[in-house]
Amino acid sequence: MTARLRGALRERADQVEPYDLYRGAIDLARRRRRRGRILAAAAAVLAVALTVIVPLDRPGQDLPAAPPGTPGSLPDEVGVPLWGTSEVEAEPIGAASVVFGAPDWWPLGSKGDLALVGAHEDVYGISHDPENFRYAGEHAVLSPDGTRLATVGSVIDLGTGDHTPLPRLGADLVVPQAWSPGGRLLAVTAYTTDDEILTSASLYLVDPGAGTFRVIRDLDPRTDRDGYTVAFSRDGGKLAYQTGAIVAVTTVDGQSISRFTAADGSHLAGKGAWTPDGAGLTLLRQSRCCDGADYPSRWKLTMVDAITGEERSVPAIRELTDLVAVRLLGWSRTGEAVVTASHPFAGIDVAGFETGGARLGEGLTDYEWVRKTEVWAVSPFTTPRTLLTGPDLQIRSVDVADDVISGGLIRAARPPSGLGPHLRNALILTVAGLLALLAIRLRKRRRGDPRS
């Protein structure tokens, strides 16, 4: 190396500011302390949030237990079940007042899921079926006392979580329609399918406890509509059903009582079609009208004689407008008709009862048509009263236990809020991860490990 090069390097070195080892150590310690404080603060905030939110996962549990035999009550509102709410098989809820469904509660969707709300308190449970896209009140119905849920192919005991399979009946699908008043018999429709299209339908009465069954008659799959096919009389001794335009009444032993043709495209109004006096049936008639309305159609509930089919001279219930579907669930203690009222999406076409052998759920109550479903009480003399409601898009099908309808008790609801179990677990893992990272960093500081 030449003298000239050595001189240039010395001159350049003299220009470099010397590193203050003490000051550098102080700055490094401050940076580490600042990061530790930030991590500790974040963990503390998340931990506080967790303690505040987690108790909201199971609303209603602090309510006093209802005495045995107390009739259930209907919540005046339902909400989206929390993501990760337990299935009723794993955590039975005892009895339910209402079951409802919608397809998009959670990030991954909720097709095949139904929510059940406790009969006495707002404890929620989930019924999950990965194979069938079910609608509450059409493919899943509560027993009169709310202790069992009949669903496609089985009956779930809400007190134990046990499943009782329904007889196969030589069918591809066995779909519940209505329970007898005592809860012993279940009317079901047995379907055969071709590429999921319904090709045949037969009405059966099943005793789920005994595993026995009796065929009532074959139905026309082109007009059969789940939720509107069959109704038991209040005394449980008679059964009304419809196939095509024919309404028939039989005993539960299968003996024919009467047959008549439903006029003007009328249809059995639902599982509550028998009038309170047991002498009449309620038919549902749709009239297309009212250009410019949200839904250009009206619905009328008509009472007819159960033997002749002649319209009865009783005060008429006013027509219901701007609804895509109506279904009669039963009658209140004061004689009001308790119905589901399904509100349409704007601009959809009018749909009727004809199915053309469509897949389960397709038709006038299809979720593609229904924006929200409520439960109303309607009578000849008053405007409809809303008994149960919920957020738009989050309650699209619903069924209510018969004893809750006839009991007439309504409670102020406390729908779920806060984080569901899945999000709660994610929060716990996040807090645990932050605390673990903080502990590792503090341990390194105490050991004096060099900065990586």
**Whole-number Å distance between alpha carbons of 282 and 301:** 6
- Are residues 173 and 152 in contact, defined by beta-carbon separation less than 8 angstroms? yes
**Whole-number Å distance between alpha carbons of 368 and 345:** 8
Average pLDDT over residues 263-288: 95
Which pLDDT tens digit goes with each residue over 47-80?
555 544 444 444 444 344 455 567 799 999 999 9
Q: What percent of the chain has pLDDT over 70?
A: 77
Band (pLDDT 50/70/90 cuts) for residue 39 is low
Which has more pLDDT, 62 or 253? 253
Average pLDDT over residues 399-415: 96
DSSP single-letter state for residue 367: T
- Are residues 379 and 317 in contact, defined by beta-carbon separation less than 8 angstroms? yes
Which pLDDT tens digit goes with each residue over 192-203?
999 889 999 999
- Are residues 239 and 216 in contact, defined by beta-carbon separation less than 8 angstroms? yes
Band (pLDDT 50/70/90 cuts) for residue 382 is confident
Which pLDDT tens digit goes with each residue over 153-212?
999 999 999 999 999 999 999 999 999 999 999 999 999 999 889 999 999 999 999 999
- Are residues 112 and 373 in contact, defined by beta-carbon separation less than 8 angstroms? no
